[in-house]
Amino acid sequence: MAKIGVFVCHCGENIASMVDTGKLVTAISGHPGVAFSSEYKYFCSDPGQETVKRAIRENNLTGVVVAACSPRMHEQTFRKACAEAGLNPYMLELANIREQCSWVHTDRIEATDKAIEITRALVEKVKRNNDLQPISVPVTRRAMVIGGGVAGIQAAIDIATAGREVVLVEREPSIGGHMSQISETFPTLDCSQCILTPRMVEAVQHPNIRVMTYAEVEEVDGFIGNFTVKVRSKARYVKMETCTGCGDCIQKCPVKKIPSEFECELGNRTAIYTPFAQAVPNVPVIDRSRCTYFKNGKCAICKKTCQIDSIDFEQEDKTEYIEVGAIVVATGFQVQNTSMYGEYGYGRYKDVITGLHFERLASASGPTAGKIKRPSDGKEPETVVFIQCAGSRDASKGVKYCSKICCMYTAKHAMLYAHKVHHGKSQIFYMDIRAAGKGYDEFTRRAIEEDEAGYIRGRVSKLYEENGKLIVRGVDTLLGKPVEVEADMVVLATAMVPQPDAKEFAQRIGIGYDEYGFFNEAHLKLRPVETSTAGIYLAGACQSPKDIPDSVSQASAAAAKVLGLFSKEQLEREPVVATVSDSTCAGCWGCVIACPYNAIDRKEITDRNGNLIKRVASVNPGLCQGCGTCVSFCRSNSIDLAGFTESQIFAEVMGL
């Protein structure tokens, strides 16, 4: 005989204000099988849980229904309480009378009736529940970090230093990401390369880190603790094992006029190249689309030059499958292409550049060796106009959000400009100055007070060229007057947007993303570095615009999550898995195709003599995630899901 206990929670006022809990208790206490019922202000509290435990023990309850909030909130809490009282944790059901009832209704009588129905349905279900035992699966204690920017590097080093293996996958020829392009960094103005390069070297030299550059993740299979990742290493045409990075080949390559991506096309590179001098690994790649040898079979000068024969034109892309237990996604961002702003003339006037261009101009290792020279004629600009929010906070043309870093880097640019061009004059058009962060407001104040950055509050309406000058027109909204500035160069603080392939990438590896393509965290406040796919974590600007301190903190947080997962050899999994009925399965393999976790195999049923009788589907309980896709697909109704069996669901529905 079922002896079900029903515990009706008030959730403070959350439920009790809309549901007559007393009436609910009375109604349910008369329901067949209900042996105990009570109500309380907060069942999730310590005394509340004690009440549940005591009732289980004293009444020998065989099942429990807590009529309260969503199972997402407290299913684990009450399962634990049941287990502590000696009841199998899967003999518990939560009747959601908060999110699905009290919160969404305005009529107390109707809401109460609905709460009674919901609770009754769950009582009917729990009567048919069975004891289930958790499943243990082994954890592969190796992590993959995708993206080798500062966030990815930090996460990799943290995990590796704690003693776990890491595979760091970067699609460019070198790790480093955007930080390697930046000249000096706010709010301290230390040189970006100087603080990043040692980290890059630490990563490649770390015995626990395997760095794969020029490589892309093509597929992710499996689940938390047991992912299989397909990685394609693109052909470099240079042998990683032997190349010493002497750079002789680069010197000799005759194709020299290729606009360098790293230099934002302000400088050139050769067909065989490393993106920058401090590249890690310091092994060049051949850009097949530009190389003369690949075009017409002639040249091969690099091959002749290399003294240790490290050039290999025959190399091919290599694919491997790597087993990992956790994945940290740190694929970063890109700066928005601002050419949609006709009024700013980006792409039309050579001397209208983005903040990233400015970083390269200001960088000691950049194309101008750190001298501020404008792109059109190489002259030192006397007046520079900076336009903030060139794309951010602009719902009509750009993006709605604030890119968070532009106020700071524009202040930094104005400072660097003042330090490098002493008589130069900077004018900054801004909407607000957002400088929240340790040392940030002080930093912008310094730009204004010490380095005489001229801030004009207002937007630029028009920009055009006249007599070799860029005329910038706008309104000073504080003075309520139009302004016009004659500038030699204009720097746009363009928005930080997701990588061009972010959405497609997210779909490929199975994580969520927002309307722009920034990857979604599981909970903005409480689980900011996890994704809703268990075992996949986020770090850096791929989640939202971030500066270096934020990216690095998040990377360490993600590493901590990974290490937490790796702290045990086995992972306890919910026993909610599917099973196939051999006798009725028609072997159509629809479920095999439908299962998003590839958890279903084909099984042969043979007679005693080994003769094949039929083939049927068979679920691997180690892989099954209990999503139920197969159950809904199977036409012959041959699959059942533990914890959500057909008869349980049926009883629940009929209980309504």
Partner 1 sequence: MGIQEQYRTDAANLLDSGAVKLVIGYGEGSTPERRRPIFIRSAEEVGRLVLDANCIANLSAYLVPEGLLSDGKSVAVFLKPDGIRSVNILAAEAQLNPEQVVILGFNIDAGLANPLPGRKANEFAPLLASLKSAGLSTDLQREADRLEQMTAVERFEYWKEQFSKCIKCYACRQVCPMCYCRRCIVDVNQPQWVNTSSHTLGNFEWNIIRAYHLAGRCVACGGCDRACPVNIPLRLLNHRMSKEALDTFDHFAGESADQKPVLATFRQDDPETFIL
Query: Could you list the residues that contact partner 1 (CB under 8 A)?
Result: 504, 507, 583-584, 586-591, 593-594, 615, 633, 635-638, 646-647, 650-651
Give the shortest CB-478-to-partner 1 separation in angstroms.
44
Contact call for residue 332 and ligand FAD (CB under 6 A): yes
597 contact choice in ligand FAD, partner 1, ligand SF4, none (CB below 5 to 8 Å, kind-dependent) = ligand SF4
Which of 158, 216, 488, 652 binds ligand FAD (CB under 6 A)? It is: 216
Which of 600, 642, 648, 652 binds ligand SF4 (CB under 6 A)? It is: 600
Q: Which is nearer to ligand SF4, 405 or 634 (CB)?
A: 634
458 contact choice in ligand SF4, partner 1, ligand FAD, none (CB below 5 to 8 Å, kind-dependent) = none
Give the shortest CB-28-to-partner 1 separation in angstroms.
23
646 contact choice in ligand FAD, ligand SF4, partner 1, none (CB below 5 to 8 Å, kind-dependent) = partner 1
Residue 618 pairs in a beta bridge with 601
Give the shortest CB-604-to-ligand SF4 separation in angstroms.
13
Contact call for residue 626 and ligand SF4 (CB under 6 A): yes
Rounded to 10°, the helix 71-84/46-59 angle is: 50
Contact call for residue 642 and ligand SF4 (CB under 6 A): no
Query: The dihedral of CA 311, 149, 531, 563: what is its sign?
Result: positive
Are 78 and 94 spatial neighbours (Cβ–Cβ below 8 Å)? yes
Dihedral pair phi/psi, residue 158, rounded to 5°: -60, -45
Which of 4, 91, 111, 151 binds ligand FAD (CB under 6 A)? It is: 151
CA 275 – CA 282 distance, rounded (Å): 9
Contact call for residue 362 and ligand FAD (CB under 6 A): no
x/- letters, 393..432, toward ligand FAD (CB under 6 A): ------------x---x--x--------------------
599 contact choice in partner 1, ligand SF4, ligand FAD, none (CB below 5 to 8 Å, kind-dependent) = ligand SF4
Which of 158, 351, 359, 530 binds ligand FAD (CB under 6 A)? It is: 359
Which of 24, 139, 217, 472 binds ligand FAD (CB under 6 A)? It is: 217
CA 44 – CA 73 distance, rounded (Å): 10
Residue 217 pairs in a beta bridge with 231
Read off the tokens for 332: 């970063």
**Tokens 């629940």 belong to which residue?**
652
CA dihedral 78→79→83→88, nearest 10 degrees, is 130
Contacts 24+ apart (CB under 8 A), 255-262: 255/290, 255/291, 255/292, 258/287, 258/290, 260/367, 262/180, 262/181
Give the shortest CB-508-to-ligand SF4 separation in angstroms.
19
Catalogue the E-assigned strands of 54-110.
63-68, 92-96
CA 197 – CA 179 distance, rounded (Å): 10
Label residue 453 left, alpha or beta by phi (over 0 means left) and psi (-120 to 50 means alpha). Answer: beta
Give the shortest CB-270-to-ligand SF4 separation in angstroms.
50
Sites for ligand FAD among residues 183-202 (CB under 6 A): 185-186
CA 529 – CA 397 distance, rounded (Å): 30
How many residues touch ligand SF4 under the rule CB under 6 A: the total is 29
Contact call for residue 118 and ligand FAD (CB under 6 A): no
Give the shortest CB-178-to-ligand FAD separation in angstroms.
3
What's the distance, CA 620 to chain centroid?
29
Q: Which helix (H) or strand (E) holds 6?
A: strand 4-9
338 contact choice in ligand FAD, partner 1, ligand SF4, none (CB below 5 to 8 Å, kind-dependent) = none
Contact call for residue 619 and ligand SF4 (CB under 6 A): yes
CA 568 – CA 582 distance, rounded (Å): 35
Sites for ligand SF4 among residues 460-479 (CB under 6 A): none
504 contact choice in partner 1, ligand SF4, ligand FAD, none (CB below 5 to 8 Å, kind-dependent) = partner 1
Contact call for residue 333 and ligand FAD (CB under 6 A): yes
Report the amino acid identity of residue 46: D
Q: Which of 468, 446, 464, 448 is nearest to 456 (CA)?
A: 448
CA dihedral 195→198→202→204, nearest 10 degrees, is 110
Read off the tokens for 108: 């107390």
CB atoms within 10 A of CB 621: 16
Residues that bind ligand FAD (CB under 6 A): 146-152, 169-172, 177-179, 182, 185-186, 216-217, 330-333, 335, 355-356, 359, 405, 409, 412, 499, 505, 540-541, 546-549, 551
Residues that bind ligand SF4 (CB under 6 A): 578, 580, 585-591, 595, 597, 599-600, 616-617, 619, 624-630, 633-634, 636, 638-639, 641
